[in-house]
Each structure stands twice: as C-alpha cells, then as structure tokens.
C-alpha cells in the first residue's frame, strides 16, 4: 500500500522543483509608464498626505533611490480600473500590491531573472507538503502566519477590490499576485526604501533561511565567512552600484555574493539557483542539470537522467511544453560558483574545499540517506505503516533525519561551518539513525525488520563497525565487562 503525499515526498528531485505546479492564471495587461519621465503630477498629492498619515513610510521613500530618481507613490501604485485589485483611493485608481510585473516596467532584467527562479516558484515548492504537515499538524492560521510569510501566498481579492486578510499582508518570495506575476521584490528590498544595501546584507536572507529546514543563517554566522562579515561589515561597500567581488569589496562574502553577485567574468543574477550544483533539501542529494527555456523559465533535472538537447521540446513542471534554450551541467554550475571563491582563494584551496563538500554529501547519501529512504519505501509498499502521514513516531524520526539534521549537515559542509557539519549535523543524523530510526523500524516491522535492515545497510557504506562492538568503547568511558576505565 502506498503512502499518499508522504511517500511522494521521499522521491522529490530536486526538492520542490519537480513538484506539480498550478497552471499560471490569465495575466491582465498592466499600465505602462514612460521611464524617462517619472514623477506623475497626481503622485505629489500622495506624498503630501502620507507625510502626515504615514510619516515613517514617507521618510523611507524620501531617503530612497526612487525619490532621488523622481519616482513617487503613484508611479508604482497606479492601476487600471480593470485590474482585479484596483481600488479608488482619494480620487486615484491604485493597487495595494506593487508586484514584480510593476517593478519590471523599469527593472526588466531583474524581473526576467527572478521569474524563472526557484524563489518565484516557492509556493509550488511546498504545495505537496502543505496538506500533510502545515494543515494537519497546524491549521490554516499557521499557514497564513507561518509558511506563507516566507514561501508566499496566493493573494485573493474580495468583491470590493480589497485584499483577503487570510492571504494578505504577505511578502513571501514566491507570492502569487492578483496580476498573475510571481514573487515579492520587497521580500528582499524591504519597502519603502527598497535598499540594495539592505538586500545584500545576510540579514535579508536570514528572515526565511533559518531554522531546521534551511539553517543558512546559523551556518553562515558560525563560518569563517560570517565571522569576517561581522568584524568587517563597515568595509563591505554595500551601497555600491555594481558591487563586484574583488573590486568593490574584499572583506567577506555574503549570501548574495555566492548565489547572485557579480565577480570578474561572472554577471550578477536575480536567479538564486543558477550556481548550486547539488539539491541539499531532499532525502537523497543529487547533482542537478539546470534547464533554461526560451521563455526564461528554468527547471532542474538530476544528472542520473539524460540531459535534454538544446532546441528540444520538453514538459515543464507546470505541465506546459517549453523549448530548451540551454542546459547547464552540474560542472558548469560549479564553475560559476567557483569564480566567486577564486577572488579570495587559490585554485587548489577552492578545489579542495569543493571536494570536501562533495565527499560529505556522498557520505550522507550512502550511509544514511539511501538506506533510510529505501527502508521507508519498503515499509509503505508492504502496508506496515498507516496511510495517514505523520501519525507514527517513525515518520517524524525519518522526516527530521533528512529534512532537519541531514539538511543541516549538508549545508554546514557547503558553507564551511564544521560545527554544523558534525555536531549539529551528521552527529545528530547518526545518533538518531542508530538509536531511534532503526529501533522504530524493528518495532513496526516485527519479524520482517532485521532482514530489511540488513539488506539495506549492506547496500550502504560505513556500518561495518556494528559487527565490532568493542571497537571505540573507551570513548564512552568504559570497556565492556571491565567497569569504568581509569
């Protein structure tokens, strides 16, 4: 008997990207503005009023690059009366939400890069998990105030043009807006300053990239890179127009440096997933091709599959067909990431660090990831576990094994935090694998358990020590049968 939802989560490749996505809604045409002539006259009245009613908001804008360029409230918030979220406000037709489509009237390259990124698809990324975890274990209020605040909500418009409070306010990175666009620029460039310096600071990413499933804040802060940033943040030149590593700053890398930033021979990009070779938030990590379509959409495919050819037509995650523009191999993606590293490190250093990272991922895969996944799949297929997800201790143990502890170990190796690689990561994976996961498998599988465990552990590596229990006993402070060591 297959396990609905939960068993599918075991096979995610890469996590979330290949989930079935909802078809894009029909997109209404947005109003356009002449970018050479910002500063709509009627917008000056907005400023005058909001200086009194929203003084903090007005001050943020007054100190922003938008103000310096002559861009006012109405330039961004103006709407057409036919827009779903259009409302009349003080004699003007406006929309509460300034969507990426609105920002893209000027920031065209950034809109195109973001539109095909994993960030833009962050709602679909958790669509398969949502019913089984957030809704069952929590409820709708948790989804609105928790999950959707990072991943984004599908913003609903009420009959009077106002926004449904169950889905708004929301600045989730993959927010699906009433105009059909995906994303929220203010997730990183907080309104109404929309500062590039603020978006380049690691704290902008830490709002969502922290905690069990995406422990990047904790890992970064514990790494040498995070230590350097904290000590030298005044030297980071975060307000620089170009912000090229090795040119505009050398003190430390940030999240943006590695995943989005420019380096000599490497252009900046608002597609944060372009440079990552591995999928690290999945039961088993695989190296990934990045497929870029003619329309700008992207998707990842594991390198265990044959790469599609340029010009071929293949199915995209949303079920539509797309023409392949280019396929970036895992090695090409690694090369792009390495260009950033090479601004501060030698070639041998970079290659050695990447090798250590790869070896740790493969150790996790072979010793824990694949054996645990195969054991769980076998239990589902034999009907040993009930159909309801997360109703048995073993399911929570397995989920935390790869989703929390396993992700932390892999992220620790990726971002050079030895503490998170071991004590906060693989140590906890191994402790819970041997002391919780396997005992719980024996409990639920009964007579079938030992044969199942033996078969799958022999497929992995590093379990031979179980056959030599005396080895290493000194570390626990005793020898079997001899009492306490001196």
Give tens-digit pLDDT for 24-46. Answer: 333 444 555 555 667 888 888 89
Q: Is the pLDDT of residue 482 over 70?
A: no
Compute the average pLDDT of residues 403-425: 97
Which residues share a beta bridge with 290? 300, 328
Residues in the chain: 486
For residue 90, which phi and psi values (nearest 5 degrees)?
Answer: 55, 40
Of 187, 337, 223, 358, the C-alpha closest to 273 is: 337
Q: Is the pLDDT of residue 103 over 80?
A: yes
Q: Is the pLDDT of residue 275 over 80?
A: yes
pTM of the model: 0.87
Higher pLDDT, 81 or 355: 355
Question: What are the boundaries of each domain within the chain?
Answer: 33-187, 347-463
DSSP state of 204: H
Q: What is the pLDDT of residue 159?
A: 86
Q: What is the pLDDT of residue 111?
A: 94
Quick: pLDDT tens for 144-202.
999 999 999 999 999 888 899 999 999 999 999 999 999 999 999 999 999 999 999 99
Distance CA 78, CA 73 (A): 8
Q: What is the pLDDT of residue 301?
A: 94
Using pLDDT thresholds of 50, 70 and 90, give the confidence band for residue 13.
very low
Q: What is the pLDDT of residue 245?
A: 96
Q: What is the pLDDT of residue 22?
A: 30
Q: Copy the structure tokens of residue 207.
A: 């709002």
Asked if residues 246 and 339 have their Cβ atoms less than 8 Å apart, the reply is no
Distance CA 187, CA 125 (A): 17
DSSP codes of every residue in 375-420: HHHHHHHTT-S-SSTT-SHHHHHHHIIIIIIIHHHHHHHHTT-HHH
% of the chain at pLDDT higher than 70: 88
**Cβ neighbours around 370 below 10 Å, total:** 17
Quick: pLDDT tens for 110-125.
999 999 898 998 998 8
Q: Is the pLDDT of residue 21 over 70?
A: no
Of 343, 185, 350, the C-alpha closest to 262 is: 343
Higher pLDDT, 466 or 70: 70
CA angle centred on 386, ends 385 and 388, rounded to 5°: 130
Compute the average pLDDT of residues 73-96: 91
Q: Copy the structure tokens of residue 76.
A: 């961004």
């Amino acid at each position: 008997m297959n396990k609905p939802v939960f068993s599918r989560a075991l096979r995610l490749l890469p996590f979330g990207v290949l989930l079935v996505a909802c078809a894009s809604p029909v997109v209404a045409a947005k109003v356009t503005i002449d970018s050479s002539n910002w500063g709509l006259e009627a917008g000056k009245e907005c400023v005058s009023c909001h200086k009194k009613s929203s003084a903090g908001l007005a001050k943020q804008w007054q100190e922003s690059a938008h103000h310096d360029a002559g861009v006012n409230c109405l330039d961004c918030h103006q709407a057409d009366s036919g827009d779903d979220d259009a409302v009349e406000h003080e004699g003007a037709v406006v929309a509460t939400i300034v969507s990426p489509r609105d920002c893209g009237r000027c920031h065209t390259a950034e809109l195109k890069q973001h539109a095909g990124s994993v960030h833009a698809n962050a709602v679909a990324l958790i669509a398969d998990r949502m019913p089984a975890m957030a809704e069952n274990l929590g409820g709708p209020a948790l989804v609105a105030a928790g999950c959707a605040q990072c991943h984004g909500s599908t913003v609903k418009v009420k009959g009077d043009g106002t926004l449904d409070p169950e889905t708004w306010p929301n600045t989730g990175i993959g927010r699906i807006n009433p105009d059909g666009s995906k994303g929220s620029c203010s997730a990183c460039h907080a309104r109404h300053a929309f500062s590039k310096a603020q978006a380049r600071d690691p704290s902008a990413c830490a709002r969502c990239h922290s905690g069990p499933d995406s422990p990047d804040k904790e890992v970064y802060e514990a790494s040498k890179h995070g230590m350097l940033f904290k000590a030298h943040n005044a030297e980071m030149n975060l307000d620089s127009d170009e912000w090229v590593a090795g040119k505009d700053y050398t003190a430390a890398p940030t999240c943006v440096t590695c995943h989005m930033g420019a380096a000599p021979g490497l252009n900046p990009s608002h597609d944060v997933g372009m440079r990552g070779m591995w999928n690290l938030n999945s039961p088993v990590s695989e190296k990934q091709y990045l497929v870029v379509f003619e329309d700008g959409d992207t998707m990842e495919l594991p390198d265990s599959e044959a790469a599609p050819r340029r010009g071929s037509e293949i199915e995209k995650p949303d079920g539509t067909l797309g023409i392949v523009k280019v396929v970036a191999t895992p090695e090409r993606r690694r090369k792009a990431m390495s260009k950033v590293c090479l601004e501060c490190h030698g070639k041998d250093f970079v290659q050695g660090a990447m090798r250590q990272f790869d070896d740790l991922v493969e150790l996790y895969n072979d010793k824990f990831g694949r054996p645990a996944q195969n054991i769980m799949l076998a239990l589902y297929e034999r009907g040993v576990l009930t159909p309801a997800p997360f109703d048995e201790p073993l399911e929570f143990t397995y989920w935390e094994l790869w989703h929390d502890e396993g992700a932390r170990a892999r992220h620790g190796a990726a971002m050079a935090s030895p503490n998170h690689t071991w004590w906060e990561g693989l140590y906890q994976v191994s402790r819970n694998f041997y002391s919780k996961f396997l005992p719980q498998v024996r409990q639920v599988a009964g007579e079938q358990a030992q044969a199942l465990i033996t078969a799958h552990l022999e497929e992995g590596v590093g379990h031979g020590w179980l056959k030599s229990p005396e080895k290493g006993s000194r570390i626990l402070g005793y020898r079997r049968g001899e009492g306490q060591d001196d």
